[in-house]
């Protein structure tokens, strides 16, 4: 007969639930007390920060009226070029430059277009629209002088209007192009090498300096990278250096390479261009019909827009104005050309063509593309 056991079990279950209810009441009382305390702390915090928040809002109101360019967050520039469409932008501290280039092979249909550049506000809403892009959906992009439209299959149209280009952008692009023309040590890295770099920086947090990466380059051997201050060396066994001489190049601001993390699964390779110790570095991701260029200034506080003066470091050849105009008109007709091609077409010495192109790059009338 199990009736006595069942009666006892029912009583025990009742007691258990009664205990749980008491425990819950105790926990609820603790939560209520902590919530009340937290609310009081937040109220005090708001009270202490009230003067600061008021002054900050007053400053932004003043900035909006007096210097609108400084009020805008730097947003991407879209350029339609004969061989690709590309998007360029700077990070908020202007120490990192990014350029995403898309060959026209990635588009299923291209309507009639004309070349040009526009600048738009990269809002959270536009970011969300880009997140809707899928291989099984059709997405249409429309670029015109007044703005940028995105239409994803099954979704509503979205449009961002053109905004004025801040003066700091112009100087920043000038410095980036000028830096790209400087002599550099270039080599390829396997995507897993970039993954190992990011993993090292994710796993360890430095508490003291130096916070640098030292690229050890030896001809015919794998690229080696030492992470300070730990002295950890990562050997890039898949990436052989084919440069002319052995050297060590030290770069700072290394945590900015986390920008490349999302590209690791789809990148075929990363081409690294190092200008020298403490100088800018460029990472070009080969994404097939797309490419992404990440330009890092020498260190985080040495931004492209205000602190960089790489146009002064670039060589300035003595080329007469008539020759400069000839070279520029030839490039303008082709839109994209190598110095050798222009030299052959114009019957000029390659050094003369390079000097003319360098002058126009430093003047902001031409750009140098590391991916071409």
CA distance 225 to 281: 14
pLDDT reported for residue 164: 66
Check pLDDT > 80 for residue 195: yes
Q: Half-sphere exposure of 226 toward its Cβ, with a 13 Å CA cutoff?
A: 11
Count of alpha carbons within 13 angstroms of residue 258, beta-carbon side: 9
Nearby residues of 150 by Cβ (< 8 Å), 6 or more positions away: 126, 129, 130, 139, 140, 141, 142, 157, 158, 159
Q: Are strands 185-189 and 116-119 parallel, antiparallel or unpaired?
A: unpaired
Rounded to whole angstroms, the Cα distance separating 313 from 304 reads 14
Spatial contact of 147 and 49, defined as CB atoms under 8 Å apart: no
Residue 119 has what pLDDT?
74
pLDDT digits (tens, 9 = 90+) for 62-119: 766 765 555 545 467 888 887 788 888 888 777 888 898 888 877 777 777 777 777 7
The answer to whether residues 96 and 255 touch, using CB atoms and an 8 Å cutoff, is: no
Superfamily of domain 167-313: DNA Polymerase III, subunit A, domain 2 (3.10.150.10)
Give dist(CA 240, CA 19) in Å, integer. Answer: 68
Contact 89, 163 (CB under 8 A): no
Q: What does the pLDDT look like over 162-171, one tens digit per residue?
A: 766 666 777 8
Sequence ranges of the domains in the chain: 3-66, 167-313, 321-362
Report yes or no: 119 and 76 within 8 Å, Cβ to Cβ: yes
């Amino acid at each position: 007969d199990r009736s006595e056991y069942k009666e006892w079990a029912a009583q025990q279950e009742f007691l258990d639930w009664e205990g749980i209810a008491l425990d819950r009441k105790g926990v609820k009382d603790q939560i209520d007390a902590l919530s009340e305390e937290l609310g009081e702390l937040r109220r005090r915090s708001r009270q202490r920060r009230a003067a600061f928040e008021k002054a900050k809002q007053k400053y932004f109101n003043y900035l909006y009226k007096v210097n609108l360019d400084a009020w805008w967050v730097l947003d991407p520039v879209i350029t339609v070029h004969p061989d690709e469409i590309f998007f360029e932008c700077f990070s908020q501290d202007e120490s990192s430059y990014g350029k995403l280039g898309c060959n026209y092979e990635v588009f299923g249909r291209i309507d009639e277009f004309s070349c040009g550049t526009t600048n738009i506000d990269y809002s959270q809403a536009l970011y969300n629209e880009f997140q809707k892009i899928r291989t099984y959906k059709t997405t249409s992009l429309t670029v015109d002088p007044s703005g940028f439209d995105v239409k994803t299959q099954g979704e509503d149209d979205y449009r961002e209007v053109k905004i004025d280009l801040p003066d700091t952008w112009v100087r920043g692009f000038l410095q980036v192009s000028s830096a790209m023309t400087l002599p550099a040590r270039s080599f390829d890295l396997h995507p897993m090498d970039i993954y190992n770099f990011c993993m090292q920086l994710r796993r360890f947090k430095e508490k003291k300096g130096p916070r640098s990466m030292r690229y050890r380059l030896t001809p015919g051997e794998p690229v080696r990278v030492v992470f300070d201050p730990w002295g950890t060396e990562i050997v890039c066994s898949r990436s052989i250096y084919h440069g002319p001489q052995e050297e060590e190049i030290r770069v700072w601001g290394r945590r900015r390479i986390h920008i490349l993390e999302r590209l690791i699964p789809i990148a075929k390779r990363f081409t690294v261009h190092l200008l020298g110790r403490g100088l800018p570095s460029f990472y070009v991701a080969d994404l097939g019909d797309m490419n992404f260029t990440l330009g890092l200034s020498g260190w985080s506080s040495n931004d492209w827009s205000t602190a960089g003066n790489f146009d002064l470091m670039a060589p300035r050849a003595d080329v007469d104005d008539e020759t400069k105009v000839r070279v520029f008109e030839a490039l303008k007709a082709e839109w994209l050309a190598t110095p050798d091609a222009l030299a052959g077409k114009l019957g000029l010495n390659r050094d003369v063509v390079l000097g003319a192109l360098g002058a126009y790059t430093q003047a902001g009338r031409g750009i140098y593309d590391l991916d071409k």
